[in-house]
Amino acid sequence: MKLILIAAHDPNLVIGKDGTLPWHYSEDLKFFKRTTMGHPLLMGRVVFEELNEKPLPGRENVVLSRSKNYDHVNTFSTIDAALDYLSDHDKVFVIGGGEIYRQMLGRADELVITEIKNEYEGDTFFPEYRDQIGKTWKETWREEHEEFSFVKYERAD
Ligand SMILES: NC(=O)c1ccc[n+]([C@@H]2O[C@H](COP(=O)([O-])OP(=O)(O)OC[C@H]3O[C@@H](n4cnc5c(N)ncnc54)[C@H](OP(=O)(O)O)[C@@H]3O)[C@@H](O)[C@H]2O)c1
Protein backbone atom coordinates (compact mmCIF):
# COMPACT_ATOMS: atom_id res chain seq x y z
CA MET A 1 0.00 0.00 0.00
CA LYS A 2 1.31 3.42 -1.00
CA LEU A 3 0.71 6.09 1.65
CA ILE A 4 0.30 9.54 0.09
CA LEU A 5 0.02 12.81 2.00
CA ILE A 6 -1.93 15.42 0.03
CA ALA A 7 -1.91 19.01 1.27
CA ALA A 8 -1.92 22.65 0.22
CA HIS A 9 0.41 25.00 2.08
CA ASP A 10 1.58 28.59 1.78
CA PRO A 11 5.28 29.67 1.74
CA ASN A 12 5.35 29.41 5.56
CA LEU A 13 3.70 25.96 5.60
CA VAL A 14 0.36 27.40 6.79
CA ILE A 15 -2.46 24.95 6.05
CA GLY A 16 -5.35 26.16 8.22
CA LYS A 17 -6.89 28.88 10.34
CA ASP A 18 -9.75 28.59 12.85
CA GLY A 19 -10.55 25.04 11.76
CA THR A 20 -10.85 25.80 8.08
CA LEU A 21 -8.74 26.60 4.98
CA PRO A 22 -7.41 30.20 4.87
CA TRP A 23 -8.01 30.40 1.08
CA HIS A 24 -10.33 29.28 -1.68
CA TYR A 25 -8.81 28.09 -4.95
CA SER A 26 -11.37 26.15 -6.94
CA GLU A 27 -8.68 24.71 -9.29
CA ASP A 28 -6.94 23.22 -6.26
CA LEU A 29 -10.17 21.65 -5.01
CA LYS A 30 -10.67 20.12 -8.47
CA PHE A 31 -7.09 18.83 -8.45
CA PHE A 32 -7.69 17.29 -5.01
CA LYS A 33 -10.87 15.63 -6.25
CA ARG A 34 -9.41 14.11 -9.41
CA THR A 35 -6.23 12.98 -7.65
CA THR A 36 -8.01 11.20 -4.79
CA MET A 37 -11.16 9.92 -6.55
CA GLY A 38 -11.69 6.19 -6.06
CA HIS A 39 -9.09 5.89 -3.30
CA PRO A 40 -9.62 5.83 0.46
CA LEU A 41 -9.08 9.01 2.47
CA LEU A 42 -7.65 9.04 5.97
CA MET A 43 -8.31 12.16 8.06
CA GLY A 44 -8.31 13.57 11.57
CA ARG A 45 -11.51 14.25 13.48
CA VAL A 46 -11.17 18.04 13.04
CA VAL A 47 -11.07 17.69 9.24
CA PHE A 48 -14.12 15.43 9.32
CA GLU A 49 -15.97 18.05 11.38
CA GLU A 50 -14.93 20.66 8.81
CA LEU A 51 -16.76 18.48 6.25
CA ASN A 52 -19.82 18.71 8.53
CA GLU A 53 -19.29 15.00 9.19
CA LYS A 54 -20.37 14.23 5.60
CA PRO A 55 -18.03 11.76 3.87
CA LEU A 56 -16.53 12.95 0.57
CA PRO A 57 -18.28 10.98 -2.19
CA GLY A 58 -16.69 8.28 -4.32
CA ARG A 59 -13.99 7.58 -1.76
CA GLU A 60 -13.99 5.56 1.45
CA ASN A 61 -13.61 8.06 4.32
CA VAL A 62 -11.74 6.86 7.39
CA VAL A 63 -11.51 9.05 10.50
CA LEU A 64 -8.97 9.07 13.32
CA SER A 65 -10.34 10.00 16.75
CA ARG A 66 -9.76 8.95 20.31
CA SER A 67 -12.92 10.70 21.51
CA LYS A 68 -15.63 9.97 18.92
CA ASN A 69 -17.03 7.02 17.07
CA TYR A 70 -19.18 7.83 14.06
CA ASP A 71 -21.91 5.45 12.85
CA HIS A 72 -21.56 6.28 9.16
CA VAL A 73 -17.77 6.15 8.70
CA ASN A 74 -15.08 3.83 9.98
CA THR A 75 -13.37 5.49 12.93
CA PHE A 76 -10.11 4.29 14.48
CA SER A 77 -8.43 5.37 17.68
CA THR A 78 -4.91 4.54 16.45
CA ILE A 79 -3.07 5.11 13.17
CA ASP A 80 -1.89 1.51 13.10
CA ALA A 81 -5.46 0.18 13.34
CA ALA A 82 -6.58 2.48 10.49
CA LEU A 83 -3.63 1.48 8.26
CA ASP A 84 -4.22 -2.18 9.03
CA TYR A 85 -7.85 -1.79 7.94
CA LEU A 86 -6.73 -0.05 4.70
CA SER A 87 -3.82 -2.36 3.94
CA ASP A 88 -5.44 -4.04 0.90
CA HIS A 89 -5.68 -0.78 -1.09
CA ASP A 90 -2.88 0.16 -3.50
CA LYS A 91 -3.10 3.87 -2.54
CA VAL A 92 -4.33 5.64 0.60
CA PHE A 93 -4.52 9.45 0.70
CA VAL A 94 -3.90 11.16 4.04
CA ILE A 95 -5.82 14.43 3.82
CA GLY A 96 -4.88 16.08 7.12
CA GLY A 97 -5.07 18.03 9.21
CA GLY A 98 -1.93 19.26 10.90
CA GLU A 99 -1.83 16.72 13.71
CA ILE A 100 -2.30 13.84 11.32
CA TYR A 101 0.27 15.08 8.78
CA ARG A 102 2.80 15.52 11.58
CA GLN A 103 2.39 11.95 12.76
CA MET A 104 2.36 10.44 9.28
CA LEU A 105 5.10 12.31 7.39
CA GLY A 106 7.70 9.76 8.49
CA ARG A 107 5.60 6.89 7.12
CA ALA A 108 4.59 8.54 3.83
CA ASP A 109 5.76 7.17 0.47
CA GLU A 110 4.69 10.22 -1.51
CA LEU A 111 3.69 13.87 -0.96
CA VAL A 112 1.27 15.65 -3.28
CA ILE A 113 1.65 19.32 -2.45
CA THR A 114 -0.07 22.45 -3.67
CA GLU A 115 2.42 25.24 -3.06
CA ILE A 116 0.30 28.35 -2.57
CA LYS A 117 2.29 31.43 -3.62
CA ASN A 118 0.56 34.06 -1.43
CA GLU A 119 1.20 34.24 2.31
CA TYR A 120 -1.71 33.73 4.72
CA GLU A 121 -2.23 34.00 8.45
CA GLY A 122 -2.78 30.65 10.06
CA ASP A 123 -2.71 28.53 13.19
CA THR A 124 -2.11 25.09 11.67
CA PHE A 125 1.00 24.05 9.75
CA PHE A 126 2.30 21.25 7.53
CA PRO A 127 5.38 19.67 9.12
CA GLU A 128 8.79 20.83 7.82
CA TYR A 129 9.92 18.60 4.93
CA ARG A 130 11.61 21.04 2.58
CA ASP A 131 15.01 20.63 4.24
CA GLN A 132 14.80 17.00 3.09
CA ILE A 133 14.16 17.73 -0.59
CA GLY A 134 16.99 16.17 -2.56
CA LYS A 135 17.63 13.85 0.41
CA THR A 136 14.56 11.98 1.70
CA TRP A 137 12.26 13.52 -0.91
CA LYS A 138 12.78 13.55 -4.67
CA GLU A 139 10.65 15.91 -6.77
CA THR A 140 9.08 13.85 -9.57
CA TRP A 141 6.46 16.18 -11.08
CA ARG A 142 5.58 19.88 -11.06
CA GLU A 143 2.85 21.89 -12.76
CA GLU A 144 3.04 25.69 -12.54
CA HIS A 145 -0.02 27.91 -12.23
CA GLU A 146 -0.26 31.62 -11.56
CA GLU A 147 -1.26 31.39 -7.90
CA PHE A 148 0.12 27.97 -6.96
CA SER A 149 2.16 24.98 -8.16
CA PHE A 150 1.21 21.33 -7.94
CA VAL A 151 4.23 19.22 -6.93
CA LYS A 152 4.83 15.53 -6.28
CA TYR A 153 7.65 14.19 -4.15
CA GLU A 154 8.55 10.54 -3.78
CA ARG A 155 10.56 9.03 -0.97
CA ALA A 156 14.08 8.59 -2.27
CA ASP A 157 15.38 6.09 0.28
N1 LIG B 1 -4.42 23.02 3.52
C2 LIG B 1 -4.66 21.72 3.59
O3 LIG B 1 -4.27 20.95 2.69
C4 LIG B 1 -5.41 21.17 4.75
C5 LIG B 1 -5.79 19.83 4.75
C6 LIG B 1 -6.48 19.35 5.85
C7 LIG B 1 -6.76 20.20 6.91
N8 LIG B 1 -6.37 21.48 6.88
C9 LIG B 1 -6.63 22.37 8.03
O10 LIG B 1 -6.05 21.81 9.20
C11 LIG B 1 -6.84 22.18 10.33
C12 LIG B 1 -7.23 20.94 11.11
O13 LIG B 1 -6.04 20.28 11.57
P14 LIG B 1 -5.83 19.89 13.12
O15 LIG B 1 -4.39 19.59 13.31
O16 LIG B 1 -6.48 20.94 13.95
O17 LIG B 1 -6.76 18.60 13.29
P18 LIG B 1 -6.78 17.15 12.59
O19 LIG B 1 -5.39 16.66 12.35
O20 LIG B 1 -7.74 17.18 11.45
O21 LIG B 1 -7.51 16.29 13.73
C22 LIG B 1 -6.93 16.17 15.01
C23 LIG B 1 -7.72 15.11 15.75
O24 LIG B 1 -7.49 13.83 15.18
C25 LIG B 1 -7.49 12.86 16.20
N26 LIG B 1 -6.17 12.22 16.24
C27 LIG B 1 -4.95 12.79 16.09
N28 LIG B 1 -3.98 11.89 16.18
C29 LIG B 1 -4.60 10.69 16.39
C30 LIG B 1 -4.13 9.37 16.57
N31 LIG B 1 -2.81 9.08 16.53
N32 LIG B 1 -5.03 8.40 16.77
C33 LIG B 1 -6.37 8.68 16.79
N34 LIG B 1 -6.88 9.90 16.65
C35 LIG B 1 -5.99 10.90 16.43
C36 LIG B 1 -7.83 13.57 17.49
O37 LIG B 1 -9.26 13.54 17.59
P38 LIG B 1 -10.01 13.47 19.02
O39 LIG B 1 -9.76 14.80 19.65
O40 LIG B 1 -11.44 13.24 18.66
O41 LIG B 1 -9.39 12.33 19.76
C42 LIG B 1 -7.34 14.97 17.21
O43 LIG B 1 -7.99 15.96 18.01
C44 LIG B 1 -8.04 22.94 9.78
O45 LIG B 1 -7.80 24.35 9.85
C46 LIG B 1 -8.10 22.51 8.34
O47 LIG B 1 -8.71 23.46 7.49
C48 LIG B 1 -5.70 21.99 5.81
Each residue's pLDDT tens digit, 82-120:
999 999 999 999 999 999 999 999 999 999 999 999 999
Give pLDDT, residue 90. 98
21-51 tens-digit pLDDT: 999 999 999 999 999 999 999 999 999 999 9
Q: Which amino acid is at 18?
A: D
Atom of ligand 1 nearest to the CA of 76: 33
What pLDDT score does 107 carry? 98
We report the CATH number of the domain holding residue 87 as: 3.40.430.10
Residues 127/100, Cβ–Cβ less than 8 Å: no
What per-residue confidence (pLDDT) applies to 117? Answer: 98
Which atom of ligand 1 sits closest to the CA of residue 48? 20
How many domains would you assign to the chain?
A: 1
| Structural domain that includes position 108 | 2-155
- For 55, 92, 127, 155, the CA distances from 83, given in Å and listed in that order, are 18, 9, 20, 19
Q: How many CA atoms lie within 13 A of 69 on its CB side?
A: 3
Residue identifier of the C-alpha nearest atom 44 of ligand 1? 19
**Model pLDDT for residues 110-156, shown as the tens digit of each residue:** 999 999 999 999 999 999 999 999 999 999 999 999 999 999 999 99
SS3 sequence of the chain: CEEEEEEEECCCCEEEECCECCCCCHHHHHHHHHHHCCCCEEEEHHHHHHCCCCCCCCCCEEEECCCCCCCCCEEECCHHHHHHHCCCCCEEEECCCHHHHHHHHHHCCEEEEEEECCCCCCCEECCCCHHHECCCEEEEEEEECCCEEEEEEEECC
Tally the C-alpha atoms within 13 A of residue 53's C-alpha that lie toward its C-beta. 9
- Quick check: CB of 98 below 6 Å from ligand 1? yes
User: Please, which pLDDT band fits residue 52 given cuts at 50, 70 and 90?
Assistant: very high
Quickly state the pLDDT bin for 79 (edges 50, 70, 90).
very high
pTM for the predicted model, two decimal places: 0.98
Which residue CA neighbors atom 13 of ligand 1 most closely? 97
pLDDT of residue 157 exceeding 90, the answer is no
